[in-house]
Amino acid sequence: MPGTDLPLRRWVVAGAILLLGCSLPPTLSAETYFADRFDDDNGACTPGDCTLREAILAAEANPGPDTILVADGHHRLSIPPAGGGDPATGVLEILSHDVEIRAENWAIVDAQGIDRVFRFLHSTSTVANLEVTGGIVDGGLGGGIYIEVSQMTLENLWIHGNRAGIGGGLAIEQGVTTADSIAITNNESHWHAGGAYIIGISQFNVGRLELSNCTISGNTAGTVGAAILRGAAGQLQIDYCTIVDNTNRPGDPTIFGFLGGLLADARYSLVEGACMAGLDDTRCLYLSSKLEEMPVTDLGLEPLSTNVGYTPTHALTLDSPALDVVPAAAACPAADQRGVLRPIDADLDGEVRCDAGAYERGPVTVLEVPALPPTGLGLLGGLLTLLGLSAIRRRCSQLGA
């Protein structure tokens, strides 16, 4: 009879819906964790009592993607690595998980020599507003940050004071890493790549590093590539960067694999020891690409210093060839490494153009003091003398008391 099979149909439909629901991926649950303790522990992350390690372990246990907000201040790691690669010890590891690790203003993550600082594997993550230091992994890669088969974004970082066999500050093994407004300084490698190391395994599995508004300075390597080493299947893009004062074995390039490699380029950057026209001691200002190089005897840079902002830079001197050298039609970043807005008319010629490198120099304002007649100069000198005598008398009376 019509309608006698209706209950059966309902059960079939209900079963199909149940099977479809079971085949769907689980709903992602994004969480935010606050790393508000500055010591090192691997217990539970609870509000008001959570170390950075505990926050990472909690995020790893959650489907994600997650956010870790790092309290401003100095976070020190102290749990040495245990046998068997225990993720609750040694390096801070993000494994097959997506996470954003960010300080609101600025935080220091210091491994204190127990291991490298961060490791990312099969991850799409962001790290921002951190100082990464104290990482040591003498027999391996990436003393500060080691990235494997990941898509990473690095923003406003200072990677310094780290050591590794290869890639003292940063090592990238497959995947694409975009780094903006970062400084990689004073890192060390036993063999190659004191600052950064990039490598892939094939044309389909490359390692790529895209640098913008960066300073790479003061790094050392035992052999080659004190600043950067681009290995096999490694790709490199440098925009508005300053790369100077890196040291390795005499006669070897501080950016190894950069000159002759088709998969590497530099735009509006200042580089020491990398001119195609010269050897290790040459200095270049790169314009629209590395093919448009401008060899110079002096890049016109001040010593490395914190010139406003959290990350160190090399300020430009008044006679630097980098001043206003970028064509007005060329696109330049909205701000320099420090966050100072670009462009600025540094030479006050009325043409506002960007400077090459990581530092945008502002104009120098000259304070004009009106000329005084001889009588005015005499009165001013007398007044200064009286002020000095008065100060001496007050000091003597204080000592006598």
Mean pLDDT of 179-196: 98
Residue with the larger pLDDT of the pair 192 and 399: 192
Assigned token pair, 135: 């990482």
Above 50 in pLDDT, residue 78? yes
- Cα–Cα dist 34/101, whole Å: 10
Mean pLDDT of 354-368: 78
The per-residue pLDDT for 28 is 62
Q: Answer whether residue 91 is part of any domain.
A: no
What is the CA 142 to chain-centroid distance, rounded?
Answer: 14
Mean pLDDT estimate for the chain: 86
The per-residue pLDDT for 375 is 53
Q: Are strands 283-286 and 293-296 parallel, antiparallel or unpaired?
A: antiparallel
pTM to 2 decimal places = 0.84
Q: SS3 breakdown of the chain: % helix, strand, coil, rounded to 5?
A: 15, 40, 50
Taking residue 265's Cβ as centre, other Cβ atoms within 10 Å add up to 18
- Cα–Cα dist 77/110, whole Å: 6
Above 60 in pLDDT, residue 368? no
Above 80 in pLDDT, residue 190? yes
The per-residue pLDDT for 374 is 53
Q: Answer whether residue 331 is part of any domain.
A: yes
Mean pLDDT of 118-133: 98
- Cα–Cα dist 195/184, whole Å: 6
- Cα–Cα dist 298/137, whole Å: 36
Mean pLDDT of 219-237: 95
Contact residues for 79 (Cβ-Cβ < 8 A; gap 6+): 40, 41, 42, 53, 88, 89, 90, 114
**64: pLDDT confidence band, cut at 50, 70 and 90?**
confident
Range of the domain at 311: 116-369
The per-residue pLDDT for 280 is 52
**350: pLDDT confidence band, cut at 50, 70 and 90?**
confident
Question: Out of 21-30, 194-203, 304-313, which region has the weakest mean confidence (pLDDT)?
Answer: 21-30
Answer for the pair 215, 246: CB distance below 8 angstroms, yes or no.
no
Q: Answer whether residue 142 is part of any domain.
A: yes
Alpha helices in 198-325 (DSSP H): none
**2: pLDDT confidence band, cut at 50, 70 and 90?**
very low
Answer for the pair 223, 193: CB distance below 8 angstroms, yes or no.
no
Q: Answer whether residue 184 is part of any domain.
A: yes
Q: Answer whether residue 56 is part of any domain.
A: no
Q: Answer whether residue 19 is part of any domain.
A: no
Radius of gyration of the chain measured on its C-alpha atoms: 28
Q: Answer whether residue 20 is part of any domain.
A: no
Mean pLDDT of 110-120: 98
* C-alpha torsion 152→153→156→160, nearest 10: 10
φ, ψ of residue 335 in degrees (nearest 5): -145, 165
- Cα–Cα dist 37/46, whole Å: 11
The per-residue pLDDT for 371 is 53
The per-residue pLDDT for 332 is 93
The per-residue pLDDT for 253 is 84
**360: pLDDT confidence band, cut at 50, 70 and 90?**
very high
Q: Answer whether residue 48 is part of any domain.
A: no
- Cα–Cα dist 147/95, whole Å: 10
Mean pLDDT of 293-299: 93
How many structural domains comprise the chain? Answer: 1
Above 50 in pLDDT, residue 396? no
Q: Which of 241, 242, 284, 239 is nearest to 259 (CA)?
A: 284
Question: Out of 188-192, 321-325, 382-386, which region has the weakest mean confidence (pLDDT)?
Answer: 382-386
Above 70 in pLDDT, residue 141? yes
Mean pLDDT of 54-75: 97
Question: Out of 23-37, 147-161, 337-351, which region has the weakest mean confidence (pLDDT)?
Answer: 23-37
Residue with the larger pLDDT of the pair 3 and 239: 239
Q: Are strands 301-305 and 313-316 parallel, antiparallel or unpaired?
A: antiparallel
Above 50 in pLDDT, residue 135? yes
**281: pLDDT confidence band, cut at 50, 70 and 90?**
low
